[in-house]
Structure 1
Amino acid sequence: MDGSTMTTPRSASEVASEVAPVAVARVPRRRPRFGRARWVMIAFVAPALAIYLLMVIVPSLQTVQLSFTNWDGISPTYDEVGLQNYTEILASDRFWNAVKNTMILGLGSAVIINVISLVVALMLDRLNHATGFFRTVVYLPALVSAFIMATIWKYLLNYNFGIANSVLRDMGLPGWARDWLGDSGIVIGVLLFIICFTLGGNTTLIYLANLQSVPQELIEAARIDGAGGWKVFWNVTWPMIAGAVTVNMTLAMIAGWVIFDQVLVLTTGGPGFVSETMAFFIYKVGFGEYRAGLGSAAAVVLFLVVIASTVAANAYMRRREIQA
């Protein structure tokens, strides 16, 4: 073989020396795509966040600190009392009565409101005429504040000139006339009715919006397979609106735990302390009896109860939602 045509193998260093002169263009480092937009969003959020911290977070932390004192809400000085406020609360029959009323009104209204709202939403979903009118009628009570609605009911249920007792007397049933807001045996039931009447509008519309998002193809397929109305609802509609059930139950429970306006306007916790709720107990003790330290301790207990019950209920509903 001719030596002139033979090639000798080159080392890696020789190959690298030939490639080295070739200029390689450097790719500039890209800045974060949303860097400027992120700072703009932070600038918009910062004022609201500062106000929230000053008006909500800081007072909440101060409430925890005051719960270990004997502050009366007026004096510039107070003494540390440790867990005395908490032990007094837990040993108070009045507090436990408020807890019982809160559970009846809170949990009871949550269940009743969701059941009635779902039934009404199912009826509205099947309407073909005047749907806008009936939706407006259902939602109207939610547009009125709880304070104003409670004031209206206070006049309607007045023993002497209220329309409820007037109608009963005109019908020849004077024995049925009751002091609806002063009878300790029925006052909690009356409050429960008024609360359910006031808070059902939003819940109904949430259910209605979710019902209208259920694919009609699934419903028609179930009917073709021979499923009746109840089976269609239980096997098709109910799993599709499980998320709405979770949201509505959570919102209703939170609203039920902090019921205050209706009690303040209708009964002021009476007769005696019979109709007090936890929120009203905190207000009455802290501002009415000038025991801000004890009221702060009760507020901390209420906060813990709301958090624990809401998390537990939401976790349970989420599991049901996944199983559905």
Structure 2
Amino acid sequence: MSETHTVEKAPVRISGTPTAQSDPVRGGSQRFRRQRAAMFGFIAPALLVYLVMVIAPSLQSIQISLTDWDGVNDAYNYVGLSNYEDILGSERFWNAVKNTLLLGLGSAVIVNVISLAVALLLDRLHHWQGFFRTIVYLPALVSGFIAATIWKYILNFNFGAVNTSLRDLGVPTWAHDWLGDSDIVVSVLLFLLCFTLGGNTTLIYLANLQSVPQELVEAARIDGASGRQVFRFVTWPMLAGAVTVNLTLAMIAGWTIFDQIMVLTSGGPGFISETMAFFIYKVGFGEYRAGYGSAAAVVLFIVVLVSTVVANRYMRSREIQA
């Protein structure tokens, strides 16, 4: 009589989706989604505050720009695009635009040229580098309001250090009302703005100069290139990214200059030294024309956005990736 032997077989999986433990690709995807959800949870509170405090008021300013709201009363009427028509036909507004362009473009060019020259000098120093870097960066640590207050006393016509020194040197005719002379006040503001922005710009250039591969510099010198040629064909292309960053920051700072104008001149004499940012503040809060000021703010936003995008695109096209 024969015996029957039964062989047990393991269950065979015919179909179905592999689990996360057996599929490393799916397991990694799930971990990535959990990490992304955790990161979003961390930034969600800050994002909510930014939306409520910045984005929402900015969008509301577009609505207000279409009204005649005075900024105080609850009642207002929609006036369509009349605020924008009044702005574009205002000589005072175009003067503010001219000053803004002068301060924005002028400071961007002057600050970058001087800062690059100072960075080149600091890069060649072998001693006291830390000390001189600190001296160059110190003005950037002072807020625009504090720096403007100091300069207001220095440039005072009666007891300011500048005019007092000129009188003591025997040239009293050189003394000027630096902040009250309509012919030179914008130029004085341009100088003060450049003085404030120079520290950050210089350090950015210095950091990029120190990242230039020395092998390329030495190879160029071995091939007989002069110092000027080394800078033009080796160093300068490597600084393209720094130039883009510094020009963008300087232009934005020039477009939105406010605190220096508020402290030094309050837009005077008359409306000569008003910028777009100060013009918005003055008409919106000082003259109780919130709708008109909001329209000017929208125009300023468009100007800053377009100029920044165009400048960045042009500079990026000239960059050489190291």
Q: Residue 249 of structure 1 aligns to which amino acid in structure 2?
A: L
Is 2:145 the counterpart of 1:154?
no
Alignment size in residue pairs: 304
Q: Provide Cα deviations, 1:213-243, integer angstroms capped at 9, x if missing partner.
A: 0000100000000000110001000111101
The answer to whether the aligner puts 1:27 opposite 2:25 as a matched pair is no
Q: What residue number does 1:118 align with?
A: 116
How far does residue 34 in structure 1 lie from its aligned partner after superposition?
Answer: 1.2
- AA in 2 matched with 1:235: F
Residues 268, 274 of structure 2: 8 Å contact kept: yes
Structural RMSD (CA): 1.4
Segments of structure 1 that go 5 or more residues without pairing to the other structure are: 1-20
Rounded Cα–Cα distance in structure 2 between residues aligned with 1:38 and 1:274: 52
2:154–2:162: 8 Å Cα contact kept in structure 1? yes
Say whether residues 1:186 and 2:189 are aligned partners: no
The aligned runs of 1:237-276 (5 Å cut-off) are: 237-276=235-274
Structure 2: stretches of 5+ with no match in the other structure: 1-10, 21-25
Q: Which residue of 2 aligns with 1:5?
A: none
Q: Tell me the residue number matched to 1:44.
A: 42
Q: Which residue matches 2:195?
A: 197
Q: Give 1:212's aligned residue.
A: 210
Q: Share of identical aligned residues, percent?
A: 73
Indicate the residue corresponding to 1:318 in structure 2.
Answer: 316
1:27 positional shift: 3.2
Q: CA deviation at 1:303?
A: 0.2
- Kindly report which structure 2 residues correspond to 1:13-24, keeping only aligned pairs within 5 A, or say none: none
Distance in 2 between the 1:258 and 1:264 partners? Answer: 12
> 1:283 maps to what in 2?
281
8 Å Cα contact 2:257/2:275 also seen in 1 = yes
Residues 136-165 of structure 1, C-alpha deviations (whole Å, 9 max, x = no match)? 000000000000000000000000000000
Contact 2:238 2:321 (8 Å CA) reproduced: no
Q: How does 1:221-236 map to 2 (within 5 A)?
A: 221-236=219-234
AA matched with 2:18:
V
Q: Spell out structure 1 runs of 4+ moving beyond 6 A.
A: none
**Residue number in structure 1 paired with 2:64:** 66
Compute the displacement of 1:113 (Å): 0.4
Q: Is the 8 A contact 2:238 2:320 kept in 1?
A: no
- Larger Rg computed on CA atoms: 1
**TM-score (normalised: structure 2):** 0.92
Q: 1:273 to 1:220 in 2, by over 3 A?
A: same
Cα shift at 1:40: 1.1
Q: Secondary structure at the match of 1:321?
A: coil
Cα offset, 1:24, TM superposition: 6.2
Work out which of the residue numbers 128, 131, 146 in structure 1 matches 2:129: 131
Give the whole-Å Cα distance in 2 for the aligned partners of 1:106 and 1:285. 21
Q: Partners of 2:249 and 2:87 in 1: how far apart?
A: 27
Q: 1:109 aligns with which of 107, 110, 130?
A: 107
- With normalisation by structure 1, the TM-score equals 0.92
Structure 1 residues 208 and 323, CA gap change in structure 2 (3 angstroms): closer
Aligned partners of 2:299, 2:60: CA distance in 1, in Å? Answer: 15
Distance between the aligned counterparts of 1:254 and 1:197, measured in 2? 16
Residue type at the aligned position of 1:125 = D
Cα deviation digits, residues 53-95 of structure 1 (max 9, x gap):
0000000000000000000000011000000100000000000
Structure 1 residue identity aligned to 2:36: R
Question: CA offsets per residue over residues 243-301 of structure 1, 9 Å max, x none?
Answer: 11011101111111000011000000000000000000000000000000000000000
C-alpha spacing 1:22/1:36, structure 2 compared with 1 (3 Å): closer
Q: Which residue of 2 aligns with 1:93?
A: 91
2:171 corresponds to which letter in structure 1?
L
Alpha-carbon deviation of 1:120? 0.5
Counterpart CA distance in 1 for 2:13 and 2:274 is 83
Q: Which residue of 2 aligns with 1:8?
A: none
C-alpha contact (below 8 Å) 2:119/2:206 kept by paired residues: yes
CA distance in structure 1 between the partners assigned to 2:163 and 2:260 by the alignment: 20
